[in-house]
Amino acid sequence: MMSKVNISIMLSVVAFAVSLVCAMLYSMPVNSVGVIISALSVLVTVLIGWNIYSAVDFNKKSDILRDEIKQLDKHKAEVADMIKATQENLQCKWTVDIMEGVPLMIATQLDDNLEHTLAECVRVYKKNIEGSVFAKSVALNYITGISCILYQKGREHDITVRHLAEDLSASVSVEDVQLLWNDIFQCKPLRHEYPLALLNDLLRYLIKLKHSDNSPPQD
pLDDT in tens, 12-46: 666 666 655 655 555 555 555 666 666 666 667 76
pLDDT for res 65:
79
How high does pLDDT run on average in the chain?
A: 64
Average pLDDT over residues 101-126: 64
**In the predicted structure, residue 185 carries a pLDDT above the cut 80:** no
Q: What distance in Å separates the CA atoms of residue 202 and residue 121, rounded to the nearest whole number?
A: 14
Secondary structure element (H or E) that encloses residue 161, with its range: helix 161-168
Average pLDDT over residues 204-214: 61
Contacts of 112 (CB under 8 A, 6+ apart): none
Nearest Cα to 210, choosing from 180, 171, 161?
171
Contacts of 8 (CB under 8 A, 6+ apart): 47, 50, 51, 54
The tally of CA atoms less than 13 A away on the side-chain side of residue 130 is 1
Contacts of 126 (CB under 8 A, 6+ apart): 175, 176, 179, 180
**In the predicted structure, residue 60 carries a pLDDT above the cut 70:** yes
Contacts of 216 (CB under 8 A, 6+ apart): none
**In the predicted structure, residue 82 carries a pLDDT above the cut 50:** yes
Nearest Cα to 115, choosing from 90, 145, 86, 150?
150
Confidence at 80, pLDDT banded by 50, 70, 90:
confident
pLDDT for res 143:
72
Q: What distance in Å separates the CA atoms of residue 209 and residue 178, rounded to the nearest whole number?
A: 12
pLDDT for res 192:
46
Is the sign of the CA dihedral 41, 44, 48, 53 positive or negative? positive
**In the predicted structure, residue 218 carries a pLDDT above the cut 60:** no
Average pLDDT over residues 72-84: 80
What string of DSSP letters covers 12-52? HHHHHHHHHHHHHGGGSSS-HHHHHHHHHHHHHHHHHHHHH
pLDDT tens sequence across 136-177: 777 777 777 666 666 666 555 555 556 556 656 555 666 666
Q: Give me the percent of the chain exceeding a pLDDT of 70.
A: 21
The tally of CA atoms less than 13 A away on the side-chain side of residue 192 is 0
Average pLDDT over residues 177-194: 57
Total residues found in the chain within this entry:
219
**In the predicted structure, residue 62 carries a pLDDT above the cut 70:** yes
Which residue ranges make up each domain of the chain?
A: 4-78, 111-214
Q: Is 118 exposed, middle or buried (0-12, 13-18, 19+ CB in 10 A)?
A: buried
Average pLDDT over residues 103-118: 62
Which amino acid, one-letter code, is at 171? Answer: S
